[in-house]
């Protein structure tokens, strides 16, 4: 297992609304403001490893991570080579976030057969650990990159705790975070393994006008309202089908996205940390739902 401090507060985003030059400026500003880690996603925009390599030199202390790189996008050998390359490039500041993605992205987009996600992730992690890498290593004591697994259900959380370095769930409430912390702690205790890291995302629509904030929040949540994986997760959190019917109930929107001012966001961060989160990655939502709103990034720093 790898010990790497992600910082209490980080940032998550696609960065696809920004040019590469703007992405470097965004990363540089986040680093200057003291955010612990910048996470970039993988869907159908920029390739996340290439993007991080392109912005790495704009940062000096902030960690850089994938959240989440799909196991269907590249074999484990390629992933280890990419991870170690960026880990060396950043002198040990890279974090590898992996996930099984969703059936429609694995099958329709990539042409794979999506089945047995828990088994596939277990096999992938084993293949990653045994992959050959003979390139230069980052300066000591960096070692291997931290590995976090996208996990929402009990068995994937247990796998993330014992066979990786922790979990990175998405769109969860403080109550669910507390349950996840208990599950992770139980898994590592049973396996006599080190404490598992729990990193979580927090979408934020930071606007004075509540109606404007909810418009931004709904624009961001829209793709997830039709995703069965999140339906199942939301059911575990006490929501029902009526909540994710378009455009999403106020109850669901307000639970998944912090809609309000800076004090509201800070209060929710405190709730997440009290529930057991080690790291909270803010998703600063712009008016049209993009995930890299500079004004929000600056308002929440510190």
List Cα–Cα distances, 78 to 99, 112, 124, 187, in angstroms: 15, 17, 11, 29
Residue 160 has pLDDT above 90, yes or no: yes
- Distance CA(285)–CA(289), nearest Å, equals 5
Q: What is the band of 209 on the pLDDT scale with cuts at 50, 70, 90? A: confident
pLDDT, one tens digit per residue, over 175-185 is 999 999 999 99
- Distance CA(139)–CA(280), nearest Å, equals 27
* % of the chain with per-residue pLDDT over 90: 87
Q: What is the pLDDT of residue 1?
A: 45
Q: Where are the domains of the chain?
A: 9-299
**Structure tokens, 74:** 């590249």
Q: What are residue 10's phi and psi, to 5 degrees? A: -135, -170
Q: What are residue 279's phi and psi, to 5 degrees? A: -150, 135
Cis peptide leading into 265, omega within 30 of 0?
Answer: no
**Cβ neighbours for 123, distance < 8 A, ≥ 6 positions apart:** none
The CATH number of 9-299 is 3.20.20.30
Residue located via tokens 């960690």:
63
pLDDT, one tens digit per residue, over 225-239 is 999 999 999 999 999
What is the CB-side half-sphere exposure of residue 82 using CA atoms within 13 A?
22
Calculate mean pLDDT across residues 163-189.
Answer: 98
Residue 83 and residue 145 in contact, taking contact as beta carbons nearer than 8 Å: yes
What is this structure's pTM?
Answer: 0.94
- Distance CA(290)–CA(229), nearest Å, equals 22
| Beta strands at 9-13 and 94-99: parallel, antiparallel or unpaired | unpaired
pLDDT, one tens digit per residue, over 20-65 is 999 999 999 999 999 999 999 998 899 999 999 999 999 999 999 9
**Cβ neighbours for 20, distance < 8 A, ≥ 6 positions apart:** 54, 55
DSSP one-letter string for 71-86:
TTTS-HHHHHHHHHHH
């Amino acid at each position: 297992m790898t010990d790497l401090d992600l910082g209490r507060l980080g940032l998550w985003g696609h960065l696809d609304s920004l040019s590469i030059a703007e992405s470097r400026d965004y990363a540089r500003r986040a680093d200057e403001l003291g955010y612990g880690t910048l996470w970039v996603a993988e869907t159908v925009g920029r390739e996340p490893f290439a993007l991080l390599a392109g912005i790495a030199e704009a940062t000096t202390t902030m960690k850089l991570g994938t959240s989440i790189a799909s196991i269907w996008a590249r074999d484990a050998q390629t992933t280890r080579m990419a991870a170690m390359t960026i880990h060396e490039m950043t002198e040990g500041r890279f974090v590898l976030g992996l996930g099984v993605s969703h059936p429609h992205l694995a099958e329709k987009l990539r042409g794979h057969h999506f089945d047995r996600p828990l088994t596939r992730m277990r096999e992938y992690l084993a293949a990653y650990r045994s992959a050959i890498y003979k390139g230069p290593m980052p300066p000591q004591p960096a070692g291997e990159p931290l590995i976090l697994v996208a996990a929402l259900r009990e068995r994937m959380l247990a796998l993330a705790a014992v066979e990786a370095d922790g979990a990175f769930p998405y769109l969860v409430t403080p109550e669910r975070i507390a349950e996840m912390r208990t599950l992770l702690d139980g898994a590592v205790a049973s396996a006599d393994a080190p404490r598992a890291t729990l990193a979580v995302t927090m979408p934020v629509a930071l606007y004075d006008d509540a109606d404007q904030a909810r418009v931004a929040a709904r624009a961001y949540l829209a793709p997830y309202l039709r995703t069965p994986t999140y339906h199942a997760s939301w059911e575990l959190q006490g929501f029902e089908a009526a909540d994710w019917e378009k455009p999403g109930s106020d109850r669901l929107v307000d639970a998944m996205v912090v809609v309000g001012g800076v004090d509201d966001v800070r209060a929710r961060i405190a709730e997440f940390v009290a529930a057991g989160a080690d790291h909270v990655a803010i998703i600063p939502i712009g008016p049209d739902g993009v995930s890299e709103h500079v004004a929000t990034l600056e308002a929440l720093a510190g």
